[in-house]
């Protein structure tokens, strides 16, 4: 069971908490070089890992408590293809507490454990008529519409992170090639981060389209910034669960609808993610 949220639980993890979490992971004997962060609808992917250890976030001092349905709060360590991997079943969203750096300790731990690639997943709304619910989009870039950073409060030069290639071009090329090889549809586009938890208005959707985004969601960008700050390469996929507000008048948006649509898309999404991760080089 996840720890209940509290003021003390939301405090930033210390270097000691990260060190103790690294030790806890190292004690399993797993040495992951790839981490996969599972968003809404992607949780069953963890079952595809040949397990070595399963650790609740509550046992990992640098990991945050979670409070959103569909995010289990469990770290799965094991093998996928030729790779040792760490699969994070769930993230803490900025809209839960207003803290954009909630995953700081988890990402710092991954880097300290030797992880070199972070594969992110999420559920998102489409802003592009050609990208339909049930399909997948590879994130090529993002718009930080929240204009907040998980690096606020840090000191030193490492906080000035270059995001020119936030979503690694080489990893994206390999992912697209994998999708083509297995005959899967994989779109590519810009992801707009909105804070939430409310869904966007039709006017906001029109604004995002004008700004050049193809999908919108409430996560991923803070973790990408944190990952790049620690030198991790990032690959990210959005599972499209709905059209943006106003683009489909017959559709009422809700978290329950998001989860239901994500479950319907899993049959195609999970095998493709497995093939992409198995085919990575790091």
The residues assigned a catalytic role are 40, 71, 93, 95-96, 123, 218-219, 242, 255
> 3-class secondary structure for 8-51?
CCCCCCCHHHHHHHHHHHHCCCCCCCEEEEECCCCHHHHHHCEE
Give the Cβ contact number of residue 152 at 10 Å. 9
Whole-angstrom distance, CA of residue 113 vs CA of residue 55: 15
Give the Cβ contact number of residue 206 at 10 Å. 16
Whole-angstrom distance, CA of residue 100 vs CA of residue 81: 33
Which residues are CB-neighbours of 59 under 8 A, at least 6 positions away? 24
* 127 HSE (CA, 13 A, CB side): 24
- Which SS3 state, helix, strand or coil, does residue 224 take? helix
Identify the sign of the CA torsion 223, 226, 230, 232. Answer: positive
Tokens 């840090």 found at: 154
Q: Are 192 and 142 in contact (CB under 8 A)?
A: yes
Q: Are 232 and 117 in contact (CB under 8 A)?
A: yes
Angle at 198 between CA 192 and CA 202, to 5 degrees: 65
The CA–CA distances, whole Å, from 212 to 48, 110, 192, 204, 234 equal 35, 32, 9, 13, 21
Rama region for 171: left / alpha / beta (φ>0; ψ in -120 to 50; rest): alpha
């Amino acid at each position: 069971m996840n720890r209940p949220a509290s003021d003390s639980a939301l405090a930033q993890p210390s270097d000691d908490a990260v060190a103790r979490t690294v030790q806890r992971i190292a004690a399993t004997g797993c040495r992951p070089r790839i981490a996969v962060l599972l968003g809404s609808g992607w949780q069953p992917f963890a079952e595809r890992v040949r397990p070595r250890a399963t650790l609740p976030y509550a046992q990992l001092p640098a990991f945050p408590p979670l409070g959103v349905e569909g995010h289990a709060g469990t770290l799965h360590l094991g093998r996928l293809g030729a790779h040792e991997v760490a699969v994070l079943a769930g993230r803490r969203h900025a809209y839960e507490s207003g803290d954009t750096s909630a995953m700081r300790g988890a990402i710092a731990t991954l880097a300290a454990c030797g992880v070199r690639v972070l594969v992110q997943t999420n559920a998102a709304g489409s802003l592009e008529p050609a990208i339909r619910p049930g399909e997948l989009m590879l994130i090529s870039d993002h718009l930080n519409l929240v204009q907040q950073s998980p690096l606020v409060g840090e000191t030193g030069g490492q906080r000035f992170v270059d995001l020119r290639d936030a979503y690694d071009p080489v990893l994206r090329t390999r992912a697209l090639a994998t999708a083509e090889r297995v005959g899967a549809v994989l779109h590519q586009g810009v992801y707009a981060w909105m804070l939430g938890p409310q869904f966007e208005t039709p006017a906001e959707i029109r604004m995002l389209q004008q700004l050049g985004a193809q999908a919108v969601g409430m996560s991923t960008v803070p973790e990408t910034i944190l990952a790049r700050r620690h030198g991790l390469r990032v690959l990210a996929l959005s599972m499209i669960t709905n059209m943006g507000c106003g683009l489909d008048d017959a559709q009422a948006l809700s978290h329950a609808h998001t989860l239901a649509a994500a479950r319907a898309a899993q049959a195609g999404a999970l095998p493709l993610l497995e093939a992409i991760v198995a085919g990575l080089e790091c």
